Amino acid sequence: MRSLLLAPLSFAAILSVTSGTVSRRSNPAQASTQDVKVIEVGAKKYEYNPSSIHVKQGTKVQLRITATDHTHGFKIGVFSDGSDKNGSPGLAFTSPQDCWKIEKGQSSTIEFVAQTAGTYSFKCCVKCGLGHSGMKGQLIVDP
């Protein structure tokens, strides 16, 4: 009779230990998604909103850019403004491109790690009208 009582207790103890281990293993995955800084950016006739974006050095960033009025583009360099282009890139993109094209009414997600402090200028790279050359902004990576 005694062994029958111990068996359910042992099973319950094993179950609680196992479920504790499972929940601990799922936490790092949750933490990695929480470590991503998602920034919503609007692209409309001749401006980005916000046009000045601040992030901390070492942050994994997702820019979600939405073109609201017609097709726009997004271009940003991997080196900060005025830096030595022979060194290590300051921005490490998951899918590097020269120009991300964003169709009217659509969004595009640009993901990178801000590795080096500095100012990174960005601009529209799809001809969008008379004010196209003024469609610019800055990503500022703070130490």
Amino acid letter for position 4: L
Flag whether pLDDT at 20 surpasses 90: no
Give the C-alpha separation, 9 to 84, whole Å.
66
Instruction: State the amino acid at position 126 in one-letter form.
Output: V
pLDDT for 35 equals 85
User: For residue 34, what pLDDT is reported?
Assistant: 56
User: Average of pLDDT values for 103-122?
Assistant: 97
Any bridge partners for residue 107, and if so which?
Answer: 66
Q: Say what percent of the chain tops pLDDT 90.
A: 71
Query: Tell me, what DSSP letter sits at residue 134?
Result: G
> What is the pTM (predicted TM-score) of this model?
0.75
With residue 113 as reference, give the H or E element that holds it: strand 107-114
Kindly tell me if the per-residue pLDDT of 14 is higher than 50: no
Report which listed range, 15-29, 77-91, 105-119, is most confident.
Answer: 105-119
Separation of alpha carbons 23 and 15, rounded Å: 12
pLDDT at position 85: 86
**pLDDT the model gives residue 128:** 93
Report the b/e string of 102-113 with b at 16+ CB within 10 A. beeeeebebebb
| Residue 16 scores a pLDDT above 60 | no
pLDDT at 27: 37
Written as six digits, the tokens of 43 are 């692209």
Summarize pLDDT for 34-87 with one digit per residue, the tens: 589 999 999 999 999 999 999 999 999 999 999 999 999 999 999 999 998 888
